[in-house]
Amino acid sequence: MGPVLAGVLQLLALIAALALCYVPLGNYMAKVYTSDKHWRVEKWIYKGIGANPDTEMRWPAYLRGVLAFSAAGILFLYLLQRLQGVLPGSLGFQAIDPDQAFNTAVSFVTNTNWQSYYGEQAMGHVVQTAGLAVQNFVSAAVGIAVAVALVRGFARSRTGDLGNFWADLVRGTIRILVPLAAVAAIVLVALGAIQNFSGIHEVGQFMGGSQQWNGGAVASQEAIKELGTNGGGYFNANSAHPFENPTPFSNLLEIFLLLLIPLALTRTFGVMVGSVKQGYAILATMGTIWLGFTALMMWTEFAHHGPAFQIAGGAMEGKEVRFGVGGSSIFAVATTLTSTGAVDSFHSSFTGLGGGITMLSMMLGEIAPGGTGSGLYGILILAIIAVFIAGLMVGRTPEYLGKKIGSREIKLAAIYILITPALVLVFTAFAMALPTPGNSMTNSGAHGFSEILYAYTSAANNNGSAFAGLNADTQWFNTTLGLAMLFGRFLPMVFVLALAGSLAEQKPVPVTAGTLRTEKPLFTGLLVGAILIITGLTYFPALALGPLAEGLAS
């Protein structure tokens, strides 16, 4: 079987598995967030944190819950790292430096999982499990909760109530993420991923000598890392490491996990607003972009530009031979389009155009299908922009899902889409202009610029992957990337929840002959075009200086 055919078959198997789970999981999640019953374990949690799950919240209260919980998570994870040297199961590792502890705490709480450290050489068992793994669950649950709040804004009328943040957080964790992650972890263990609490031991090498390795609760963290679109690896090599991702089948399973919830949430959206066709329209938009980018990536990496490429069957530099070009290409597009950041290959070693595709995937806002929750609310914001553009074309007040898109709504949506590009481009400009950050670049020229651009694109979009040539473990990068992650995660949430509150207060507008049918293929095409044009106008100059220049020169 040729490598191209193998890649296509993997893609088809992945699509079939996702299609099989789409309806049942989407319906189940809709039931989770609309049920008025509480499980016993949930009642214990509510009692422990002093929350009343039946109290409805308007958007400012919901936002305060999001920010307060996340701030507590950052503080707890920061202290856990700073105290690592005196904790049991530390494996002899010392306390993490303040700037790196700040960066890591922000990284995992914001669902970014940017790692400027070597996991197996820095973090002990307690930090990995009680700190990082826990945040993998709850940060994903926060993203889903904010998305559900926006969906309620569309579904409800004449009320500013968006539900209860604490109930949404707990239900998302207990009823969705924990059960799915437990099943996935068992499957990964069966496939060869490790799951233990062993200490550091010597491992022999093929070429002689030995190397030190430590064990860990790897499979359980790997499962939620992908399922929650987090991405932080237990080991520095991430999903290219055989302890995390041992076989081609486990590689396909991990891609399936990181796409599963973001795609199924479109069904949840359709069910909750009372029109599954609206969910299919959003799904079609996501699927069109994802398949298009995957096809482009496979083409760039399989293209033969010389004898070495022909012998290897494609651009194999930086890719695991276990997965090949096809598996690595599918993984790279999926992880950068979903704000996951996990890698089974090294994006810095992709072709110039291939590296550009990974960057562009993040620059779209990671909405195809995006992160757990963040992908859904991101694409719904862009749907509002698309409806507004359509309204301008025909001279009619735009409407979406029975709600008028007035000046307040469009201002909130416009600010949302401007925040992340501003963070990426401003921080990149400062890093290139100042001498200290520039010293961290391994490469000069277009590829060196791409390293910096990729880092801030990844941080501000809460992705977490990186071009490997950049030394980001410096005070400058730990601090500025941490700030980019913070602002890139929570500033957009402010405007999402404000928009949800504004929509929930409106009276539904009846459908008329002039209403744009947003469940039709025409709207899907309009939305895809709006996404690509907005991104292109924003980032094209920066892309032209980096990956495009490198790709055209090679």
- Domain interval for residue 502: 372-553
How many whole angstroms separate alpha carbon 339 and alpha carbon 327?
Answer: 18
In this structure, is residue 331 part of a structural domain? no
Number of compact structural domains in the chain: 1
In this structure, is residue 498 part of a structural domain? yes
Name, in order, each residue with C-beta under 8 angstroms of 260's C-beta and a sequence gap of 6 or more.
18, 21, 25, 180, 227
Q: Could you give the 3-state DSSP secondary structure of residue 200?
A: strand
Tokens of 91: 């494996």
Provide the pLDDT for residue 39.
95
What is the number of other CB atoms lying within 10 angstroms of the CB of residue 445? 13
Angle at which helices 324-337 and 3-34 pack, to 10 degrees?
30
CA 43 to chain centre: 30
pLDDT per position as a tens digit, 361-393 = 999 988 999 999 999 999 999 999 999 998 888
In this structure, is residue 489 part of a structural domain? yes
Q: Could you give the 3-state DSSP secondary structure of residue 243?
A: coil
pLDDT-derived band at 198 (thresholds 50, 70, 90) equals: confident
Give me the mean pLDDT over the 324-335 stretch: 91
In this structure, is residue 238 part of a structural domain? no
% of the chain at pLDDT higher than 90: 62
pLDDT of residue 307 exceeding 60? no
pLDDT-derived band at 547 (thresholds 50, 70, 90) equals: confident
pLDDT per position as a tens digit, 67-80 = 999 999 999 999 99
**Given 3-state DSSP classes, what are the helix, strand and coil percentages for the chain, each rounded to the nearest 5?**
65, 5, 30
pLDDT of residue 202 exceeding 80? no
How many whole angstroms separate alpha carbon 308 and alpha carbon 316?
Answer: 9
How many whole angstroms separate alpha carbon 110 and alpha carbon 381?
Answer: 20
pLDDT of residue 554 exceeding 80? no
Decide: residue 40, CB within 10 A, 0-12 exposed, 13-18 middle, 19+ buried.
Answer: exposed
Give me the mean pLDDT over the 407-417 stretch: 94
Listed residue (491, 456, 417) closest to 114, CA to CA: 456
Which residue pairs, CB below 8 angstroms and at least 24 apart, start in 405-410? 408/502, 409/384, 409/499, 409/502, 409/503, 410/384, 410/385
Provide the pLDDT for residue 232.
87
Provide the pLDDT for residue 369.
94
Decide: residue 277, CB within 10 A, 0-12 exposed, 13-18 middle, 19+ buried.
Answer: exposed
pLDDT per position as a tens digit, 97-111 = 999 999 999 999 999
pLDDT-derived band at 206 (thresholds 50, 70, 90) equals: low
The whole-model pTM stands at 0.94
In this structure, is residue 413 part of a structural domain? yes
Tokens of 246: 């041992």
Q: Quick check: 382 and 492 in contact, CB under 8 A? A: no
In this structure, is residue 455 part of a structural domain? yes
